[in-house]
Amino acid sequence: MTQTHDLSATRMAAAVRTGEVSPVELADHYLARIERLNEQVGAYVTVTAERARDEARQAEKAVQDAADPADLPPLHGVPVPVKDLNMVDGVRFTIGSGVYAGLTGFADDNVVTLLRRAGSVLLGKTAAPEFGLPCYTEGDLGPPARTPWDLSRSAGGSSGGAAAAVASGLAPVAQGSDGGGSIRIPSSACGLFGIKPTRGRISQGPVIPDLFGLSTNGPIARTVGDAALLLDVMAGRMPGDLYAAPPVEGTFASYAGRPPGRLRIGRSREPAVPGAVVHPDCVAAYDAASELLVELGHEVVDMPPVFGPDLVPHFETLWAVMATITPVAGDSEHLLQPLTRWLRSRGEATTAPQVFQAHAALQGALRAAFPVMDEFDAILHPTLAEPPAPVGYFHDQEPAENFERQKRFTPFCAMYNISGQPAVNVPLHWNDDGLPIGIMLAGRLGGEGTLISLSAQLEEARPWIGRTPGIWTA
């Protein structure tokens, strides 16, 4: 029997407009599931039940009062949670840290403003690790974010709570963010489709700076069409943003219904991180995706390496400096996670010339890499080098070992944060243990439309929407 959370967000929005589904019914359904299941999957750190029901009642009245409900905004009445690295006015804002456990948001991030303008209903704030620094979601503020496909394993990070919510049926879609793979990593671990857009496609403001241009907001969803719809809602440049993405023709949602044509696709599974070894299950997913792309008529060729291990220290320099941006009073330092303290120590010891040298080295590498990458319409990689990791695999280690394990686990994602190119996780493969193993497709700058069309073609050829974890029917 179809349950409410079986509906796609696109179908849900249409059903709200016709009166087939009530926004109040939707909010109550998801809030009830959160109350029953959140402790198991660690998806939400804050649940805004009263606010959600109030917004749902307003949305329902708007449907009743509308002269033409078709004119209502695209996500009218659809529940969409916000990651706890993004500020929502009047809602608890922890940034994943015990240092900020008592902080209340004093403004809406631009992406939150756009989600509200689109008519969405806020269920709450999804769990994130401290300051969004690691590729897993564990800390002191709540239970670990776990993939519902195996509750002994991590949902990934830093958008781990967002992915756990969508994969467990605790939200139809979710907003996430990605500074080094933080949308694609949990999307792979949870069997979801996630988009890291082109740099400058979505505003980081007004509170979060975009100085290095590594991080961006983006959608996490069960279907390509839902992710494209959410990207349409969140996209937009705001005053003061340092970066601007190339314009797109039409809507992103329209690309989900367009055949991609015959594409030239480069592929590589050679990790840039020293010591990283691609697990056989991830190789199998990569090979199967390559074969499927050829079956669909695309040209798939091996791509020469464009990013080498010499760039890893430069990215580490920027990552450590980014860890220092969030202010922490001296008498609160002891509340930080060991990894955060270790990274901040490295960042604080970095000189201004070293930051500029790291930036210059990365830019120099991109100047050589883009002529090679731009020969392809899309580029295929494994999303991760390993299947979803056990809870504690990173977090229970000393910081230096923790960080090394993270690097070896996710050696492919960060290169596209450096370049600013769009990249997606496509959930095409599950291993013999029933764990999702994603593949990553990257595109040209401004090429989200091509990636969406190609991913929709893959989704049609190998549908994954019918695969759900056991908790889905709970």
Starting at the earlier edge strand, list the strands of the sheet with 82-83. 44-47, 124-126, 82-83
CA triplet 285, 379, 183: central angle to 5 degrees? 70
Whether the CB-CB separation of 191 and 169 falls below 8 Å is answered with no
Q: Among candidates 357, 396, 376, which has minimal Cα distance to 304?
A: 376
- Say how many C-beta atoms besides its own lie within 10 A of residue 172's C-beta: 31
Q: Which residues are catalytic?
A: 83, 158, 182
- Count of CB atoms within 10 A of residue 22's CB? 18
Give the contacts of 365 (CB within 8 A, at least 6 positions apart). Answer: 306, 307, 311, 418
Taking the C-alpha atoms of residue 167 and residue 171, their distance in angstroms, rounded to an integer, is 8
Whether 398 and 294 have beta carbons less than 8 Å apart is answered as no
**DSSP label at 354?**
H
State the DSSP string of 5-19: GGS-HHHHHHHHHHT
CA distances from 377 to 101, 373, 411 (A): 44, 8, 22
CA distances from 87 to 27, 82, 110, 257 (A): 21, 8, 9, 33
